[in-house]
Amino acid sequence: MSDQPDVVRTDTQFEIRIGEAVAFAEYRVKDGAITFPHTVTPAALRGRGFATRLVEAGLAYAQEQNLLVRPHCSFFHAYLAKHPELHAMVHPDERAALTAA
């Protein structure tokens, strides 16, 4: 059993809670796409891989729901830019930005 806290999905965000601290990735679903506008990791939780876990949970949810991803959050964008194997799940309007220099 892992000692890592679970990622929980609410109606508006994916979150990881440790005590009073909450790392979260906001999302909105509309017209067959999921937009990730904002990810926040409080200072007390940084450097522990929580933001990456939030991204991975969000992308897994998008895949399960057959939603195209709109990575408006810079962290989601950077993650996807580093993983070309995931570009097919990104909304066609936004794929070119993942490979732009």
* In the predicted structure, residue 58 carries a pLDDT above the cut 90: yes
Predicted TM-score (pTM) of this structure: 0.93
* In the predicted structure, residue 35 carries a pLDDT above the cut 70: yes
Domains and CATH numbers, the chain: 8-94 (3.40.630.30)
* In the predicted structure, residue 51 carries a pLDDT above the cut 50: yes
- Work out the average pLDDT over 14-20: 95
Q: Write b or e for each residue in 61-81: b if 16 or more Cβ atoms lie within 10 A of its Cβ, otherwise e.
A: bbeeeebbbbbebebbbebbb
* In the predicted structure, residue 100 carries a pLDDT above the cut 80: no
Bridge partners of 39?
25
- Helix, strand, coil percent content, the chain, rounded in steps of 5: 40, 25, 35
d(CA 95, CA 24): 24
Return the pLDDT at 2: 55
